[in-house]
Amino acid sequence: MPGNQLTTNSQVLCPHGGQAILLTANTGVLAENAPVLLESDVHLVAGCPFTVGLKYSPCVRIEWSAGSSQVTVNGTGTLVQSSIGQCINAEGTPQGVAMIVNTQLKAVAQ
């Protein structure tokens, strides 16, 4: 699906409001002067308050799929607004899909 590309300046939250720390292995491709994120990037999550019953079970990382099939960096698809970020706790259990709050507005990929 086409969509605006995600960069290190984008904002991504876990479904419980934790903030993704957007770092990338990409150092060469920029959009609006910020590195474009890659489908292979794993992003840490800070501040997730999620609990299951009385057990604290915060989202600790986001793993991505559905990156761009036509725009790649060294063979890896870039993240776009329609990409799917699976939020995962420390035990490896999926806890929901990440919310992409904002992206850069100039570079679009499919």
CB 86 within 8 Å of CB 15: no
Nearest alpha carbon to residue 97 among 21, 39, 13, 20: 13
Domain 3-109 = CATH 2.60.200 = yes
What are the beta bridge partners of residue 35? 30
**Torsion angle, alpha carbons of 61, 66, 67, 68, to 10:** -170
Q: What is the pLDDT of residues 62-88, one digit of tens each?
A: 999 998 888 889 999 999 999 999 999
pTM summary value: 0.92
Q: What is the pLDDT of residues 29-66, one digit of tens each?
A: 999 899 999 999 999 999 999 999 999 999 999 999 99
Residue 81 burial (CB count, 10 A): 16
Nearest alpha carbon to residue 1 among 79, 72, 75, 85: 79
